[in-house]
């Protein structure tokens, strides 16, 4: 298997699916001639042509609306948001149109809306947000947040083949930082299945996206002290694999939920509520959430790092629940 970065795995998935299925096309800002802001689609227009790699105007509502119309006419569009922060400009098209069409009309809307989210790279409040939970609250949408290159490829193939609208959040800080072996060719990871990336018995850290890597770093610190921490990657927020989470929590009795999105209204609150309802008898300590501050993402690197979660903040939470 070739070693790929997180970004290369996403690019590989798009290229593979476009070669396999002529109904798949891409639409977004600067994705064609320029190759995308992060070069995910570099070289695509030369291979697939401008009819399947569409450079769109700077209008997220138009991009998503066009994708919905194409999907309703038998195509399978993948719409790129240059930064997921600006997905709010197409919010009505996603939530009130794409998310309700299957219910209203009884037909699917096979679109994927993908793009970079997350902070840690000094990109200011307009290019650093984690808006995934807005779409978890809406109905009729699936929400995916991969943490590893192999999952990024496999989950993206599954998302493109799904007949429902899928929001695919790619953490920009992982694009070129994370590398691993990624299967070539056909490789599909089903939506709705969490993954235990590190087994343990003393505590569980549940996370997704960048927080998974923070959790692994914290778990390694505790391993040196003889403490076994299980790290669970949710991978898809909707559908949510609660049984895998419950099994881990019932085994360890202690749980931390970590994500880079802000605390209030974050997905961690939903996970905590379900654990409290279904695993209360097994808990030996309070559930703790480790998240970003409830604030816009600072531009100054020192302030941004202070506002975001990290391995040390997860380690501090682990100290607390292990002593409880």
Largest Cα–Cα distance in the chain? 60
Closest CA to 291 of 176, 239, 214: 214
Q: Strand (E) positions, the chain?
A: 3-5, 24-28, 53-55, 76-80, 112-117, 142-144, 166-171, 179-181, 195-198, 203-207, 229-233, 236-238, 255-262, 288-292
Per DSSP, the chain holds a count of helices (H) and strands (E) of 12, 14
- Interaxial angle between packed helices 242-252 and 267-279, expressed in degrees from 0 to 180 and rounded to the nearest 10: 60
Catalytic, out of 127, 171, 213, 259: 127
Token match 């360890």: residue?
252
115: left (phi over 0), alpha (psi -120 to 50) or beta: left
The reply to whether 259 belongs to the active site is no
8 Å CB contact between 317 and 254: no
Q: Is 112 exposed, middle or buried (0-12, 13-18, 19+ CB in 10 A)?
A: buried
Residues classed as catalytic: 127
């Amino acid at each position: 298997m070739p070693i790929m970065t997180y970004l290369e795995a996403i690019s590989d998935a798009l290229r593979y699916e476009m070669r396999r299925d002529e109904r798949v096309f891409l639409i977004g800002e600067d994705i064609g001639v320029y190759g995308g802001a992060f070069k995910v689609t570099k070289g695509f227009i030369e291979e697939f042509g401008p009819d399947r790699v569409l450079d769109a105007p700077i209008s997220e509502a138009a991009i998503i609306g066009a994708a919905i119309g194409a999907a309703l006419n038998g195509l399978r569009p993948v719409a790129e948001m240059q930064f997921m922060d600006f997905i709010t400009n197409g919010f009505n098209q996603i939530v009130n149109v794409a998310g309700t069409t299957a219910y209203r009309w009884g037909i699917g809307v096979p679109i994927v809306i993908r793009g970079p989210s997350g902070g840690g790279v000094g990109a200011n409040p307009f290019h650093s947000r984690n808006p995934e939970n807005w779409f978890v609250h809406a109905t009729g949408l699936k929400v995916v947040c991969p943490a590893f290159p192999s999952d990024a490829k496999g989950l993206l193939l599954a998302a493109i083949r799904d007949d429902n609208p899928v929001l695919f959040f790619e953490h920009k800080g992982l694009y070129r930082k994370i590398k691993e072996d990624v299967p070539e060719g056909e490789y599909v990871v089903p939506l709705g299945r969490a993954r235990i990336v590190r087994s343990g018995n003393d505590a569980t850290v549940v996370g997704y996206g960048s927080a998974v890597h923070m959790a692994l770093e914290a778990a390694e610190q505790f391993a040196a002290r003889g403490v076994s921490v299980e790290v669970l990657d949710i991978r898809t927020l909707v559908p949510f694999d609660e049984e895998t989470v419950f099994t881990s929590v019932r085994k360890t009795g202690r749980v931390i939920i970590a994500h880079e999105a802000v605390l209030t209204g974050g997905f961690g609150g939903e996970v905590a509520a379900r654990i409290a309802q279904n695993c209360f008898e097994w808990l030996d300590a309070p559930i703790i959430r480790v998240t970003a501050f409830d604030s816009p993402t600072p531009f100054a690197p020192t302030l941004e790092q202070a506002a975001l979660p990290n391995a040390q903040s997860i380690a501090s939470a682990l100290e607390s629940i292990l002593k409880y």
